[in-house]
A and B are shown apart, each in its own frame.
Chain A
Amino acid sequence: MKDISSHILDIVQNSISADADSIQISVEKNIEKNILKLLIIDNGKGMDKEFLEKVSDPYSTTRTTRKVGMGLALLKQHAERTKGYLKIESEINFGTEVKAEFELNNIDRQPIGDIAGTIVLLSAANPEIEFTYNHIYNESKYSFNTKEIKSVLGDMEISNPAIRKYLKEMINENISEIEK
């Protein structure tokens, strides 16, 4: 995975497989604390304690096409390589929270990547799911919520190419604004 957006795209697939209809993604940068935090919270079917304990082990997987699931293992490795960590909490029938913390200025910390494109892709590909993206930079925050977007768009779909382009620009502009 070459950037954090790719990890997000990957881990969110888990939330989707768990039948979540509400997924919250947060990327937080804190310059003073030198921390980059990634949070993915879903209201999917969750995991029991037994599976949760082994979930970041590649050999524990719900995949049916093969016996190895690399997503969480890769994220864990990346976080730990930057002196960070991966923490997963889950409750059956309630949801799951995946939290990854990285040292912000660590040389091994991957770039964020195309976060706007990733959020738009997820929103457009999964119209039945409500996505919230929070971008936090020190004390400033920008939030993108698909429910709000849909109420503005009415019957026009997020997957409409012109809308996708516009939303991507909108997210990027707002992120640049708070990171000034």
Chain B
Amino acid sequence: MAKIKTLADLKKMKNDLQSKVNIRERADHPDSYVQIKVGMATSGIASGAKEVMDFLIEALEKRNIDAVVTQVGDMGYCFAEPTIEVHKPGENPIVFGYVDVKKADEIIEKYIKNGELVEGIIPENYQNIDK
């Protein structure tokens, strides 16, 4: 029977991690990293936004891109779910619609890494989206 992880194991793992990794102080420098918000209201969840969010978190980490992915409520684009808002430092945030895992991958490689705009952008009438 495999050993089941307990809180004590978590503590040990955390200590190992801390000694290896340089924890980036993101909270103090919101302008230095990419902020991604994933729409997670009913229509978003029903269209698979959680899978997109899971993919984004893992892919950004693997590709060493400094980013924070959070969930927000309804952004108002239920017809185009899943939707994500990508805010690169120094640029206006852009909302992408119809984002599946494949599209999210494209957005990371083309837009986030190279600044190339990708199909499926939803034009906004306002600057930023609050929950």
Interface residues of A (CB under 8 A from B): 1-2, 6, 9-10, 13, 16-17, 63, 65-66, 69-71, 74, 114, 117-118, 121, 125, 148-149, 152-154, 156, 159-164, 166-167, 169-170, 173-174, 177
B14 touches A153 (CB 8 A): yes
Q: Give the complex CA separation of A166 and B12 in angstroms.
A: 12
Sorting the interface of chain B by its residue count into under 10, 10 to 19, 20 to 34 or 35 or more gives 20 to 34
Q: Which residues of B contact A169 (CB under 8 A)?
A: 5
Q: Give the complex CA separation of A170 and B41 in angstroms.
A: 27
A66 touches B50 (CB 8 A): no
Does B18 have its Cβ within 8 Å of any Cβ on chain A?
yes
The residue of chain B having its C-beta at the shortest distance from the C-beta of A9 within the complex is: B45
Interface residue from B7, B14, B40, B41 paired with A163 (Cβ < 8 Å) = B14
Known A148-B7, A156-B18: A70·B42 in contact at CB below 8 Å = yes
Q: Which residues of A contact B46 (CB under 8 A)?
A: 1-2, 6, 10, 74
The residue of chain B having its C-beta at the shortest distance from the C-beta of A7 within the complex is: B45
Could you show 16 A-B contacts with beta carbons less than 8 Å apart?
Answer: A1-B45, A1-B46, A6-B46, A9-B40, A10-B42, A16-B73, A66-B76, A71-B42, A118-B50, A121-B53, A153-B14, A161-B57, A170-B5, A170-B9, A174-B5, A177-B4
Interface residues of B in 72-126 (CB under 8 A from A): 73-76, 78
Does B31 have its Cβ within 8 Å of any Cβ on chain A?
no
A66 touches B61 (CB 8 A): no
Interface residue from B9, B43, B58, B73 paired with A161 (Cβ < 8 Å) = B58
Q: Which residues of A contact B5 (CB under 8 A)?
A: 166, 169-170, 173-174
Interface residues of B (CB under 8 A from A): 2, 4-7, 9-11, 13-14, 17-18, 21, 23, 40-43, 45-46, 50, 53-54, 57-58, 61, 68, 70-71, 73-76, 78
Q: Give the complex CA separation of A174 and B10 in angstroms.
A: 13
Known A121-B53, A121-B71: A163·B17 in contact at CB below 8 Å = yes
Interface residue from A69, A161, A174 paired with B42 (Cβ < 8 Å) = A69
Q: Give the complex CA separation of A167 and B57 in angstroms.
A: 15
Known A153-B14, A170-B10: A74·B71 in contact at CB below 8 Å = no
- Output the least CB separation between A62 and chain B (Å): 11
Q: Which residues of B contact A65 (CB under 8 A)?
A: 74-76
Q: Give the complex CA separation of A74 and B46 in angstroms.
A: 10
Q: Which residues of B contact A173 (CB under 8 A)?
A: 2, 4-5
Q: Which residues of A contact B71 (CB under 8 A)?
A: 121, 125
Q: Which residues of B contact A148 (CB under 8 A)?
A: 7
The residue of chain B having its C-beta at the shortest distance from the C-beta of A159 within the complex is: B68
